[in-house]
Amino acid sequence: MAVAVASVVIVLGLVFAVTVRSGKSDGTQWLSAGQAPLTTPRTPSYSTAAPMPTTRPTLTVDSGCRLGQGPATLEPVPAATTRRVNAAWDRVERWLEAKAPATAATLRPPATTARITEAQRQSGVAFPAELVASLLRHDGVADAGESFDLPPFHQPVSAEGVEGQAKVMCDVLTSSGIDDNVGYWWHGRFVPFAVDGGGDGLFLDQRTGTGRLGEWNHEGSVSFDRWPPTLTELLEQTATALETGGPVIDGYRPVVTEKRALDWDIPR
């Protein structure tokens, strides 16, 4: 399923209506048309004090977010990286075309180099070579119910999706104003490349330029323990699981649905 990033802003307005009225002990009487208003000052039932100015907390540590300031050119992808990524995709595609054609049809055509370059610039961080190689093979997956998932339920996003998700995560991180969230919840040098549809996903950690694969949890912290160290290895493990019947990542196994689509069976 392709990623659609939407930002919804809700503005709450409060309208105060002040009605001048005269009263008696046994009831309330509204002023009639043309009647002179009361001259006795009344104390309003609401505060007339000016609201105290409110300020958002701001980070005092570097978030790593440099949106719109990423490298304007792509680093050349080593031939060995391209061969290895393409070999993994070859295996995945062969299995999908033979066993799950409905899912095979959701793999998008390659992204252009220009589009990947712009996504890198807007995301504010250099893309790892293996991600560039993968996007040059498939620009994510189409938005369909049978979309291809990296095990167990992470959908590769397009170059545009990488850019959009990076912006959302950095916006939330910086607006939180909580220093401890930097590197714990997100960091501007993480490159998101797959999402699960529930607010979580996979990223490549570029803080040291190694592109280590990790997982973010929007309600918790990032983690690395249960994942292979690179995107290439995840693609290779996925291909092996498809060819052998699994297991992979926490024991998930591939199954084919009645619609001839790929699904990942929950471990029992």
CA 214 to CA 222: how far, in whole Å? Answer: 7
69 assigned to some structural domain: no
Residue 20 clears pLDDT 50, i.e. is over it: no
45 assigned to some structural domain: no
Respond yes or no on whether the N-terminal peptide bond of residue 152 is cis (omega within 30° of 0): yes
Q: Between vectors from CA 108 to CA 138 and to CA 111, what angle results, nearest 5°?
A: 50
pLDDT band at 15 (very low <50, low <70, confident <90, very high): very low
| Closest alpha carbon to 173 in 164, 185, 161, 163 | 185
For residue range 103-158, list pLDDT tens digits in order: 999 999 999 999 999 999 999 999 999 999 999 999 999 987 899 999 999 999 99
What does the mean pLDDT of the chain come to?
85
Per the CB < 8 A criterion, the answer to whether 103 and 80 are in contact is no
Cα–Cα distances in angstroms (integers) from residue 240 to residues 1, 88, 126, in the given order:
23, 9, 29
Number of Cβ within a 10 Å radius of residue 86: 15
Q: What per-residue confidence (pLDDT) applies to 51?
A: 54
Residue type, 53: P
Q: Is 185 left (phi over 0), alpha (psi -120 to 50) or beta?
A: alpha
For residue range 223-244, list pLDDT tens digits in order: 999 999 999 999 999 999 999 9
Q: Looking at per-residue confidence, does 9 or 152 come out higher?
A: 152
At 36, list the tokens. Answer: 């002179």
Q: What per-residue confidence (pLDDT) applies to 214?
A: 98
62 assigned to some structural domain: no
- Residue 35 CA, distance from chain mean position: 62
Q: What per-residue confidence (pLDDT) applies to 196?
A: 95
Per the CB < 8 A criterion, the answer to whether 85 and 233 are in contact is no
For residue range 28-87, list pLDDT tens digits in order: 443 444 444 444 444 445 444 555 555 678 999 999 999 999 999 999 999 999 999 999
For residue range 180-207, list pLDDT tens digits in order: 999 999 999 999 999 999 999 999 999 9
Residue 6 clears pLDDT 50, i.e. is over it: no
Q: In sequence order, what are the residues at sequence separation of 6 or more whose Cβ sits closer than 8 angstroms to the Cβ of residue 105?
A: 142, 144, 146
pLDDT band at 21 (very low <50, low <70, confident <90, very high): very low
pLDDT band at 268 (very low <50, low <70, confident <90, very high): confident
Find the domain containing 251 and state its range. Answer: 79-265
66 assigned to some structural domain: no
Q: What per-residue confidence (pLDDT) applies to 38?
A: 42
- Residue 63 CA, distance from chain mean position: 17
Residue 26 clears pLDDT 70, i.e. is over it: no
CATH number of the domain bearing residue 96: 3.40.1580.10
Predicted model pTM: 0.80
CA 55 to CA 87: how far, in whole Å? Answer: 53
56 assigned to some structural domain: no
31 assigned to some structural domain: no
3-class state of residue 98 by DSSP? helix
200 assigned to some structural domain: yes
Q: What per-residue confidence (pLDDT) applies to 54?
A: 58
CA 114 to CA 122: how far, in whole Å? Answer: 12
User: For the chain, what is the domain count?
Assistant: 1
41 assigned to some structural domain: no
Buried b (16+ CB within 10 A) or exposed e, 32-42: eeeeeeeeeee
